[in-house]
Chain A
Amino acid sequence: MAEATKVKKLFQKTLFGVFSLFGFIALSMSALCIYTVDTHLSEEYVSNSQDIAKTIADSSVDIMLNRNLAALQSLVDQFVEIQGIKYIYITNETGEFLVHTFVPGIPDEVLSADPMNTASVERTLPGMGDFVEVGAPILAGVAGTVHVGMDTSLIALKIQRAIGRQIYLISGVFLVGVFAAIWLVNLAAKPLNALLAYAVELARQGQAAAGEPAVLERNDEVGQLARLFLYMARQNSGDEPAKAPA
């Protein structure tokens, strides 16, 4: 058994190399997946948010001009029911908050931001989470702006789900690979063990005692080594011609 273990040690570095390569592939694939999902989802979110902000901005004009803020709030409340949208606020041309969906109040980070800036920004709001906020001008900004905050934790959740599915797949492939590697190592180690046993027997008791094991009949490298050991043993005992076995 100890001998078999020794033989398997020959494969340890190979196995380690295979597993390392496998790990590298898995990690790089995951990283690529995260990057791809994150990029695509973020772009999609920002794009959707901008569309929503523009839709609200376009449909708010009449309501704002009629000073009907209850109707405007009702409109905003319907949009905030869309998955991923966590807050919406509308300011007038002076930056006054006319409508919003914040509870219990407008966060300081939002209050201190420039309401006329409609560029996409990332916000971390204490107690609420991380958001991508996009804006859209109402009547080119002369009537105010609409801002929509999308929850980035939803993106993170989708990434986690994508990575999770990938991990399941890679884990399955890895387990199959491990069993296959063990089987192949055992397959390769079996004739080597036979060769080792024959060489030990040859060294201990000489060619006569070692007999004619099956390993001598093999056509592969193990068989050639066995015949080489037999030749060397015979040379040492002086009863073999000087020609090496093929």
Chain B
Amino acid sequence: MQRKSSGKSGPSSHALTRRAALSGGVAGAVLGPLAHGAGVAGAGVTDTEFVLGTSAAFSGPSMGLGIELYRGAMAYFEHINRQGGIGGRRVVLKTYDDGYQPDPSVRNTMNLVLEDGVFLLFGYVGTPTVTRVLPMLKLFQNRNVYMFFPFTGAQPQREPPYGEFAFNLRASYRQETAGLVNNFYAVGRWRIAVFYQADAYGRSGWAGVRAALAERGETIVGEATYQRGTKFTATMRRQVEILQAAQPDAVICIGSYAACAAFVRDAVDLGLRVPIANLSFVGSENLLKLLTEGMENSSQYTDWLVNSQVVPSYENVSIPAVREYRELMARYDPAPPELVTEPYTPFPQSFVSLEGFLNAKLMAEVLRRLDEPPTRAGLERAVFAVQGFNLGVSELISFGPARRQGMQRVYYTVVEGGRFVTLEDWGAKFAKT
């Protein structure tokens, strides 16, 4: 399926939120290839700007992920820019839409690296897109092009041969799925089935579940797939029937919010009353919105939901980073990028935008640690200089040649009172009777 690519939608560069622009803030867009400022050696850096590039889903059934991740990042970058930037340089994010499709993401990356000459790649969304882009980073290794903090927990950007070109902040799908399997196992739910997207993302999660079960001598009892890009209006009855036949104790979904919401809806309607888990990538708020808005007796669709998260709950204001996130999101209320043409109502807070915020905060820290003049070649050293950094969450962040993932912790959330809250007691909620 052809999606909007750079050629159609065109890029947009944002150092501004809508509110900031309206209030007469600093100028925003960066147009065309960047000229190197005097005394600055690196591509994508001038005396006044760091230009980062991203390709993400800003259209189609997964656009909510790209938009929320972007908004979270822009809340922090806007904050930094208003304080004078990093070493006097503002952070500018050049965005392209790939619609969560691999081919456009490859084209967009070509544009970002070869035409726009961005300093680094930041905040990509999705496994099928990132896995297709990774070989390009190897191709561009003499240019020192690195990918920072993609919104995917898949293994390809964590392992050879491409792991050396990417830095991750979030926990992996392997960690998320292992946590889910272990917790289900602990409450007597041993028969695990998997519903997954028929692509690299789904396979990554499937492999994680398989590996976690294998450690316990178990196997996946049933599996069903769906096509990437499936909408909420599609039926998932056949998939539910396939999994029902396997009589699972729990189902782990590895998908995006539209398809997973459709699966949960049809599973409940067809009487599959077992816990249904989703990974962090699903986009919890968008999932919840689909399952509750306009649905009769919507609690039946959310009672058995459990979503793993790679960031703490944005409701937990005891966490410093969450407080900062909520404050800056409220202050700047970042608008979706200009290239978004489909209607979308942003969430005041979300797990995805919190992840984008933390990504941006750590990115800023890496940029601060660059030597003068900043160059791409100096990026790896700057990242490895991050040791025991307090991002404001419950764990300290460190990087090194053998440690290219910042956070390790996985959180679990359930729906209570129409919102996702931290799951405190698996036994009380999901014990098999």
Contact = CB atoms under 8 A, between A and B. Distances in A.
A67 B227 CA distance: 23
Given A70-B200, A74-B156, A103 B225 contact: yes
A95 to B, nearest CB: 13
A106 B246 CA distance: 14
A102 interface: yes
A118 interface: no
A72 B227 CA distance: 17
A99 B225 CA distance: 12
A167 interface: no
Interface stretch (B12-20, B125-133, B294-302, B382-390): B125-133
A71 B161 CA distance: 11
Given A73-B200, A77-B199, A101-B198, A68 B225 contact: no
Contacts of B204: 69-70, 73
A68 B159 contact: yes
Contact of A105 (B199, B201, B202, B239): B239
Contact of A70 (B155, B160, B238): B155
A144 to B, nearest CB: 15
A72 B203 contact: yes
B224 interface: yes
A241 interface: no
Interface residues of B, number: 27
A236 interface: no
Nearest to B205: A70
B140 interface: no
B200 A71 contact: yes
A101 B198 CA distance: 6
A66 B156 CA distance: 10
A104 B239 contact: yes
A71 B238 contact: no
B58 interface: no
Chain B contact residues, majority secondary structure: helix
A104 B226 contact: yes
B207 A102 contact: no
A72 B203 CA distance: 9
B305 interface: no
Given A66-B159, A104-B242, A71 B131 contact: yes
Contacts of B198: 101-103
Given A66-B160, A69-B203, A105 B224 contact: yes
A70 B201 contact: yes
Interface string B329-349: 000000000000000000000
A67 B154 CA distance: 12
B219 to A, nearest CB: 8
Nearest to B240: A104
Given A102-B225, A104-B225, A69 B239 contact: no
Nearest to A62: B161
Interface string B99-133: 00010000000000000000000000001100110
B280 to A, nearest CB: 16
Interface in A30-84: 66-74, 77-78
A102 B202 CA distance: 12
B242 A74 contact: no
Contacts of B206: 69
Nearest to A70: B204
B223 interface: yes
Closest 6 CB pairs of A and B: A73-B203, A70-B204, A74-B200, A69-B207, A74-B131, A70-B200
Given A70-B131, A77-B199, A104-B225, 4 more contacts: A69-B206, A69-B207, A74-B199, A105-B224
11 contacts: A67-B207, A69-B204, A70-B131, A70-B155, A70-B204, A71-B155, A74-B102, A77-B128, A101-B198, A103-B225, A104-B224
